[in-house]
Structures are given as C-alpha cells and as structure tokens.
Amino acid sequence: MKEVELNHSPLALPDKIIPEYKQTIIKEDLPRTDEVFSLQLLMIGFLILVLFLLTNVGLYKKKAE
C-alpha cells in the first residue's frame, strides 16, 4: 500500500506543478524580453540618430569650406 501511494503521488504532482511552473515562467520572462527588445530598439535608434547627425555635420563642414 505504501509503494502504491508513493508511486501515485510523484505521477500526480508533476501534472499539476508543471503547467503552473510554465505559466510562471511565461509571465516572468515575457516582460523581461519585451524590456530588452525595447532597449535594443532604443539603442539602435539612438545610434542611427547619432550617425545621421555626424554625417550631416560633416557635410555642412565640407560645404562651408
């Protein structure tokens, strides 16, 4: 009887625990990936802006000469 109870409880627990565990992972990881993605977009946009401004400044200096 004890062996049967021990065998049933490990089989029953993962079925209940794993979906909840996956849900917590999805809920915790998605905001982090969105934050990282938005930060990457901001950095890329900032770099493009800086490069654009630098090229314009270089062109204005060439025109002034």
- Taking only the tens place, the pLDDT of each residue in 6-23 is 445 555 555 555 555 555
More confident residue, 50 or 33: 50
Identity of the amino acid at 34: D
pLDDT at 17: 54
What separation in angstroms does the CA of 61 have from each of 39, 47, 48, 57? 33, 21, 20, 6
Q: What is the pLDDT of residues 24-35, one digit of tens each?
A: 555 555 556 667
Q: On the CB side of 62, how many CA atoms lie within 13 Å of its CA? A: 6
pLDDT band at residue 41 using 50, 70 and 90 as cut-offs: very high
